[in-house]
Chain A
Amino acid sequence: EPEVTQTPSHQVTQMGQEVILRCVPISNHLYFYWYRQILGQKVEFLVSFYNNEISEKSEIFDDQFSVERPDGSNFTLKIRSTKLEDSAMYFCASSPTGANVLTFGAGSRLTVL
């Protein structure tokens, strides 16, 4: 069964460092998303991406966040200067249409020290 692949599975970084989380969405999907889940809390929307541009973003997705689809297969989330409160599980998801029937990746756990 097709799956969304995320790397790394766990990253530990120092506050203020840049982090790039990588995702390979399902190949025939057109819509890509990043969500995050702080430990013990709800899954929160960060950003959606379609046709090589951001289609929607949340208030969490401020100037320190960016997304990119550099090569037609990868979909990346960059956090420019990490803060302690960025520690969370980051989930990439994709869907074939904009109907939000999402397939999630296994997640990348980010720990900011």
Chain B
Amino acid sequence: QKEVEQNSGPLSVPEGAIASLNCTYSDRGSQSFFWYRQYSGKSPELIMFIYSNGDKEDGRFTAQLNKASQYVSLLIRDSQPSDSATYLCAVNLVDTGFQKLVFGTGTRLLVSP
């Protein structure tokens, strides 16, 4: 069973701090990695995707991918209370083609003012 693992949290950080969210995946052949944000009772909203090893930055968000360690992370700089949500890591599994994402259970982030 190919899995995506995340710490469920909650991860609590003060406003202005860096929040670091982590995700590991079991399928070494996975090629595409996504971070979604989900507010309570709402649908997932894409934050970033990353395909290559290394860092990818978009505003306050940085995604980091290490395929050798099967590890992907999301850094949120200058965290704001509005960033409080559940962050879902999702991985495209290569043996299913490019048509299916497997989601982790999500990490709940709480940013306190």
Binding site for B on A (CB under 8 A): 31, 33, 41-45, 48, 50, 55-56, 58, 91, 98-107
Contact = CB atoms under 8 A, between A and B. Distances in A.
Interface stretch (B18-26, B37-45, B61-69, B73-81): B37-45
Contacts of B44: 43, 91, 102, 104
B71 to A, nearest CB: 19
A100 B43 contact: no
Contacts of B97: 55-56, 98
Nearest to A56: B99
Contacts of B49: 101
B46 A45 contact: no
A48 B43 contact: no
B43 A106 contact: yes
